[in-house]
Amino acid sequence: MKFQVPRGTADVFFEEAELWNYIEQTSKEIFKRYNYKEIRTPIFEYTELFQRGVGETTDIVEKEMYTFTDRGGRSLTLRPEGTASVVRAFVEHKLYANPDPTKLYYIGPMFRYERPQSGRMRQFTQVGVEVLGSSDPAIDAEVISLAIRIFEEMGLTNLRLELNSVGCPVCRPLHREKLVTHLHGVKEKLCKDCQSRLERNPMRVLDCKNETCQEVTKDAPTIDQHLCEDCKSHHEKVKAYLDQMGIEYVENPRLVRGLDYYTQTAFEIISKDIGAVGTICGGGRYNGLVAEIGGNDVPGIGFAFSLERVALALKEKGIDLKLAKGIDVYFVTTGEKADSVSMKILDDLRKAGIKAEKDYLGRKMKAQMKAADRLQAKYVLILGDDEFESKKVILRDMASGEQQEVSFDDIIPVLTSKLR
Ligand SMILES: [Zn+2]
Ligand SMILES: [Zn+2]
């Protein structure tokens, strides 16, 4: 029996894990700068939360959730996205009682039963933010600029920001009506997915990736011609802030969110460095979601990106992470007496903040020196029984080949000053 990872999942290790850490650390550092606080929610929730919070008519809820019944007979689902859980926590812990807007970020695994492909896995990692409690267009601009800031500081430059307003429950019904009429006229030509979307979720037809669908809907009415005064003014202010910050965007009136609780600002960030569907980040306002999940009428906005897709874009770009390669010291010992103090000296090195390693396979000195080379050690400490008697070690600089004797007591100060 040979075990393999389940389809759509992956082991992440060595350089790939370093890349993931780089993405997470860069994101966290910037979240802090923008005053966002971390939230960690459970990996699974009651299924109903996602049915309400993601929407019954979405592909996610209809076909992609990992839902199971636990031993107590409850229906649970591995989270397919982060927003519903964050909003649930916001309501459950009455975070709205705070007089300031609640600014949160999360990083963690999500699960969707999809056809696995490059950068799209069944277990994937999402990095996202949610801001609850402000409908100020300046917050929209902050959230967008935060996303851009993260990608730029990671080293992604070839980005396109697409922006739209999806309106609100006041102005959307009028557009929806016109759109549905138009779509009925071309129904036969739409792909199967769009034919069913037409009834449940007509806005989504506009951003179908199918070429025929794009062609036959090219003259379909878009929301921008139907925005109410409120939505229009909100949108203009968001754009004005972006202009002030020098953030370029392309208006895309076909950029939509299918569900009623999405309102006004919608945006996507596209990396021109990865493949045909280069979307690496999506976000927008959802002023109706908190109420949908059982809270008060609290406005919200957020974005999320998939860590796997960003990792892919960084690799395509050939980003040099400038990771600290190698170790500071490899500790070579021969003989029983030397061995007897080796763990103590190694421990002292590590306590002093020095990245140190030794042999654990009982290898001869020559093999230990080879190991030091493989690990790219800057220095080697050599301790044999002779040196042990005189309470000294030989310190070898691996770059120059120079050697010197150092007494036990001086190992830390000498290495510390050399490594500085
Ligand atoms: Zn409106
Ligand atoms: Zn379609």
Distance (angstroms) between ligand 1 centre and the Cα of 264 equals: 7
Q: CA angle, corner 277, sides to 275 and 280, nearest 5?
A: 95
**pLDDT band at 289; cut points 50, 70, 90:** very high
Q: Which residues are placed with Cβ below 5 angstroms of ligand 2, an ion?
A: 191, 194, 208, 210, 213
Q: What is the mean pLDDT of residues 137-157?
A: 96
pLDDT at 28 over 90: yes
Give residue 256's pLDDT. Answer: 85
Distance 202 CA to ligand 2 centre (A): 11
- 303 closest CA partner among 141, 129, 171, 164: 129
Task: Using the predicted structure, report yes or no on whether residue 193 has a pLDDT greater than 90.
Answer: no
Taking residues 154-158, report their average pLDDT.
90
Nearest ligand atom owner, CA of 206: 2
- Residue 118: pLDDT band (50, 70, 90) is confident
Domain boundaries, the chain: 15-171+227-317, 329-419
Nearest ligand atom owner, CA of 226: 1
What does the mean pLDDT of the chain come to?
94
> Could you tell me the CA-to-CA distances from 285 to 13, 75, 229 in Å, in that order?
36, 29, 17
pLDDT band at 276; cut points 50, 70, 90: low
* For the CA of 214, the nearest ligand: 2
Distance 185 CA to ligand 1 centre (A): 26
Percentage with pLDDT > 70 across the chain: 98
For 279-293, b/e burial (b = at least 16 CB within 10 A) is ebbbbbbbbbbbebb
CA of 128 to the centre of ligand 2 (A): 28
- State pLDDT tens for residues 41-95: 999 999 999 999 998 888 899 899 999 999 999 999 999 999 999 999 999 999 9
The residue type at 144: I
**Whether the predicted pLDDT of 216 surpasses 80:** yes
Beta carbons within 8 Å of 270's beta carbon, 6+ residues apart: 159, 160, 161, 162, 278, 279, 280
pLDDT of residue 273: 77
pLDDT of residue 242: 98
Q: Which ligand is nearest to the CA of 170?
A: 1
Q: Are 346 and 372 in contact (CB under 8 A)?
A: no
Look at the domain 15-171+227-317 and name its fold.
BirA Bifunctional Protein; domain 2 (3.30.930)
If we measure between CA atoms, which residue out of 382, 375, 373 comes closest to residue 334? Answer: 382
| Span 332-387, pLDDT tens digits | 999 999 988 999 999 999 999 999 999 999 999 999 999 999 999 999 999 999 99
Ligand nearest to the CA of 264: 1
Residue with tokens 């190992």: 411
- Ligand in nearest proximity to the CA of 166: 1
Region label for 73, one of left (φ > 0), alpha (ψ between -120 and 50) or beta (otherwise)? left
Query: Which CATH superfamily, name and number, covers 329-419?
Result: Anticodon-binding domain (3.40.50.800)
pLDDT of 349 reads: 97
Looking at residue 258, its pLDDT comes to: 65
